[in-house]
Amino acid sequence: MVKINPIIGGLMALLGITLLLTIIGVASPVWTLAGHSSWGLFRFCHRGECRNMNTQAMPDFYQASAAFGVMAILCQIGALGCFGFTFYKNKMPLKVAGTVLTGVAMIFIMICCAVFTGKYSGFATFGYSFYLSWVAFIFNVFATALAVVGAAYSEHRFDLQGLITLAPKQLLGHYEPVFSVMYAQLWYRTE
């Protein structure tokens, strides 16, 4: 039976929600609204009738937003895969790769939304797809923070001992470690 790391389990749930929000936000056609029309990154709708847009004919910022949105989705899928494999192989390289992919996905969704905001701010009314993408970014920030904690988690134990470690005494000479949390360490002199 595989023992489930509670931080990684919670992280995967949060990443799953983030991925769902990102997919809905990027794929749905309601980034901007004008009367009975709405535009997404890939589709245009007018009075309920939707058509695919020729993304090559769209302005560069539109293409950049769409590309960064798709890359964010791919990074989130990769991060879910990496953290999913840690249930079977609790290896640090998988945790590091998942953490990096989560952070990169956060940056990509932020760029996607920020570019679109910068070009359309004040000119259009934003729709739910746009706001869902920003909410996905906020969830991704929390997922990245949780991924850092999950990667620092002990490889062999499922308790918080992985975050609090003692340094070897031979490296310190006459200093004794009080405690070490991640990389911040407190020492006291033994003499």
Per residue in 67-93, pLDDT (tens digit) is 999 999 999 999 999 888 887 777 778
Q: What is the Cα–Cα distance from 68 to 22, expressed in whole angstroms?
A: 11
Number of domains in the chain: 2
CB 2 within 8 A of CB 87: yes
Q: What is the Cα–Cα distance from 152 to 35, expressed in whole angstroms?
A: 50
Residue 1 belongs to a domain = no
Q: Which pLDDT score is estimated for 121?
A: 74
Q: Which pLDDT score is estimated for 115?
A: 92
pLDDT digits (tens, 9 = 90+) for 99-144: 999 999 999 999 999 998 888 777 778 899 999 999 999 999 999 9
Residue 46 belongs to a domain = yes
Q: Are residues 190 and 119 in the same domain?
A: no
Q: Are residues 132 and 166 in the same domain?
A: no
Residues 6+ apart with CB under 8 A from 134: 113
Q: Are residues 101 and 180 in the same domain?
A: no
Domain residues for 169?
159-191
Q: Are residues 29 and 83 in the same domain?
A: yes
Residue 36 belongs to a domain = yes
Q: Are residues 166 and 141 in the same domain?
A: no
- In the block, tokens 């993304």 appear at 55
CB 179 within 8 A of CB 164: yes
Which helix or strand (DSSP H or E) is residue 171 part of? helix 169-172
Q: What is the CATH number of the domain that holds 50?
A: 1.20.140.150
Residue 126 belongs to a domain = yes
pLDDT digits (tens, 9 = 90+) for 10-44: 888 999 999 999 999 999 999 888 888 888 888 88
Q: Are residues 184 and 125 in the same domain?
A: no
Residue 119 belongs to a domain = yes
More confident residue, 190 or 43: 43
Q: Are residues 141 and 173 in the same domain?
A: no
pTM: 0.75
pLDDT tier for residue 169 given thresholds of 50, 70 and 90: very low
Q: Are residues 21 and 58 in the same domain?
A: yes
Q: What is the Cα–Cα distance from 58 to 14, expressed in whole angstroms?
A: 33
